Structure 1
Amino acid sequence: MAADAPLLHRWVTHPKAAFWMMQDADVERVAAEYRRIAAHPHHDAYLGLWRGEAAFLAERYDPARVELVGLHDAQPGDVGMHFLCAPARVPTHGFTTAVITTVMAWIFADPATHRVVVEPDVRNTAVHALNAAVGFEVVGPVVKPEKTALLSICTRERFEAATVAKEHRFDHA
């Protein structure tokens, strides 16, 4: 993702990405963060494509080893997730819902995944609504060094029940 650092920098420093807490980051700091993720054995980052163009970022991690160590009752088959949509010049209705649905389907495509775990900032009400729409249940707030997060968990069954009628999918790279 080093070659993608300028692109990611534009995304994570955009005002709509305030909850990524990188508003003041320069390109090198963003590159260093994604080099760190790429080198980590329990954390991965991917660019998702829409119509052949990079349009979102998805991160997958082991919440027992990254982000939530000691903060939640980790179980075998838990997978942590972050996602970020690229700032749009022209907003596309339903795009963000399609992205989270696609990312969740991708994570659950691995039969070893039993639950997806997220920890968005408690103030990020927009993502809480998206999480609820795809089946997440709120566990409660957890205090992390950088934020108070709203720990939420989604089982495969809850995801499938919440999204059975939705057919929004994008390619990921």
Structure 2
Amino acid sequence: MTAPARFTFRPVDPPADAGLLHTWVTHPKASFWLMSDASRYDVERAYADIAQAPYQDAFIGSYDGEPVCLLERYDPARVELPGLYDAEPGDVGMHFLVAPADRPVHGFTRAVIAAVMGELFADPSVRRVVVEPDVRNTAVHALNKTVGFEVVRRIRKPEKEALLSICTRAGYEAALDGGRVR
């Protein structure tokens, strides 16, 4: 499975993208991103750190050439979740953020997460996608379900209580075949 042709992903360039990312991560709709009070410099430093880290990276997702989302990919056995779940070979962790829109388009966020999942599963070594959204983020829990995620359990992280959820390649493909993902 690959992302729909209209979506493309490229690595974040921290100095060049910091301004754009700052507007996204500090927007009120991005409160679960935990960067509401970050300065532009803070955002640039955070993404420079990710770019230098051995087990994580970040990407700007574009739709027809227009930046629309942020994708963070990480090794959950080493970043975010070490010791909090039973890691398996082929696991990849993911965070995603859809850019705030002046005029939201119905179904667009679902299209973004489908593209993100397609991008992750385009790597044949990826068997499962692992996420840990805040338990209060009910919108993302519902969205995750549409692409095949299943809740494993609640976990406690230093910054939040989260719902550990996993999507297998087969679960994502079943969601595609079942028409839940477009």
Task: Name the CA distance, whole Å, in 1 between partners of 2:128 and 2:68.
Answer: 25
The one-letter amino acid paired with 1:67 is E
Residues 112-151 of structure 1: CA deviation (Å, up to 9, x unaligned):
0000000000000000000001000100111111001110
Task: Name the CA distance, whole Å, in 2 between partners of 1:105 and 1:154.
Answer: 12
SS at match of 2:73: strand
The one-letter amino acid paired with 1:41 is P
Work out whether 1:93 is the aligned partner of 2:106.
Answer: yes
The one-letter amino acid paired with 1:90 is R
1:167 to partner: Cα distance: 6.8
1:51 to partner: Cα distance: 2.0
**Who is 1:67 aligned against?**
80
Task: Name the CA distance, whole Å, in 2 between partners of 1:130 and 1:150.
Answer: 13
**Who is 1:51 aligned against?**
64
Report the RMSD for the aligned CA atoms in angstroms.
1.0
TM-score, structure 1 as length reference: 0.95
Task: Name the CA distance, whole Å, in 1 between partners of 2:77 and 2:50.
Answer: 16
**Who is 2:45 aligned against?**
32
Gaps of 5+ in 2: 1-12
Task: Name the CA distance, whole Å, in 2 between partners of 1:167 and 1:74.
Answer: 26
List structure 1 segments (4+ residues) > 6 angstroms apart after TM superposition: none
Change (3 A) 1:110 1:132: same
**Who is 2:139 aligned against?**
126
**Who is 1:21 aligned against?**
34
Residues 5-54 of structure 1: CA deviation (Å, up to 9, x unaligned):
01000000000000001000000101110001000111010001112111
1:166 to partner: Cα distance: 6.0
Contact 2:22 2:43 in 1 (8 A): yes
Change (3 A) 1:163 1:4: same
Structure 1, 158-167 or 25-34: larger mean CA deviation: 158-167
Give matches, 1:133-148, under 5 Å. 133-148=146-161
**Who is 1:3 aligned against?**
16
- The counterpart of 1:150, out of the listed 163, 167, 172, is 163
Task: Name the CA distance, whole Å, in 2 between partners of 1:124 and 1:35.
Answer: 27
